[in-house]
Amino acid sequence: MSHAQPSRESPQGPALLALPFTGRWIARNSPARRIPSHGTDLLGERYAIDFVGVDERGRTAGTRSWGTFFGTEPPERFFAFGRPILAPAGGTVVQVHDGEPDHVARRSQLSLVAYTLGQAQRLALGVGAIAGNHVVIRLADGAGFVALVHLRNGSLRVRVGEFVQAGHPLAECGNSGNSTQPHVHLQVMDNLDLALAAGLPVRFRNYRVWPPGRRGAELYESGIPGEGVVVEPVDPQVGATSR
């Protein structure tokens, strides 16, 4: 079974990006599973994907406590928190937003229910309350705008008007905005104004995948990581298969 599926393509085809990090991350809310991937077309999210940092055992955090099951946990407990987030392609930085706090994390069902009930209120507060700290890059190849969201407060390292190449450090992974656990949310859209933006499909290049329940990794030249797989960027010189 293939764990990477092509998205429904826009007229110009999917944007081809590098994964915006190093190390291992697990894919969540993948458009390989469903479209819209996050259950909505609002805010340019149609083909968005989330990545949660993990260790070599696939864990998002190394410890558990009473907060894991009944309450909240500090974001610093999670492997993703503070990891570098990199530019996924060359382009011009057109939007930078910082100053949003990193929230406590929530893994318990009890705390998640209460958090979900506040969703409408956060949406009413505007983009900062939803996206948190974020960077938007106008892709140099004209494929749209790529947004990287939920970044760590105070970690942004670029400014509006700066041209970046793929791999340029942008910020650190955080837990700001509408986020229950430290992760990075990536989406490509056709407009900088989120109220008008339509989400565009995306593919990633040169990565390996550890499918759930399997020991061996599979190499991909390009594709969309499937839901729940662990991914890691690889050197483009390593042979891979386009999926």
Which residues are CB-neighbours of 70 under 8 A, at least 6 positions away? 108, 110, 111
**Confidence category of residue 3, pLDDT binned at 50, 70, 90:** very low
In whole angstroms, what is the distance from residue 232 CA to residue 181 CA? 20
In whole angstroms, what is the distance from residue 109 CA to residue 172 CA? 27
Express each pLDDT in 85-108 by its tens digit: 999 999 999 999 999 999 998 876
pLDDT at residue 162 greater than cutoff 90? yes
pLDDT at residue 1 greater than cutoff 50? no
Residues facing 96 on adjacent strands: 135
pLDDT at residue 147 greater than cutoff 60? yes
What's the pLDDT at 7? 34
Omega cis (within 30) before 233:
no
Express each pLDDT in 191-207 by its tens digit: 998 778 999 999 999 99
What's the pLDDT at 212? 78
Look at 3-7, 42-46, 129-133, 156-160 and tell me which has the smallest mean pLDDT: 3-7
Total-model pTM: 0.87
Express each pLDDT in 106-130 by its tens digit: 876 665 556 565 565 656 656 667 8
CATH T-level assignment (fold) for domain 15-235: Glucose Permease (Domain IIA) (2.70.70)
Kindly state the helix (H) or strand (E) to which residue 209 belongs, with its residue range. strand 202-210
Which residues are CB-neighbours of 42 under 8 A, at least 6 positions away? none
Look at 77-86, 132-141, 207-216 and tell me which has the smallest mean pLDDT: 207-216
Q: Of 65 and 58, which is predicted with more confidence? A: 58
Three-state SS across the chain?
Answer: CCCECCCCCCCCCCEEEECCCCCCEEEECCCCCCCCCCCCCHHHCCCCEEEEECCCCCCCECCCCHHHHHCCECHHHECCCCCEEECCCCEEEEEEECCCCECCECCCHHHHHHHHHCHHHHHHCCHHHHHCEEEEEEECCCCCEEEEEEECCCCCCCCCCCEECCCCEEEEECCECCCCCCCEEEEEECCCCCCCCCEECEEEEEEEEECCCCCCCEEEEEECECCCCEEEECCCCCCCEEC
DSSP class of residue 10 equals: P
Compute the mean pLDDT over every residue in the chain, rounded to the nearest whole number. 86
Strands 163-164 and 84-86: unpaired
What's the pLDDT at 10? 42
Tell me the mean pLDDT in the region 49-67: 87
- Indicate the domain borders of the chain: 15-235
What's the pLDDT at 65? 63
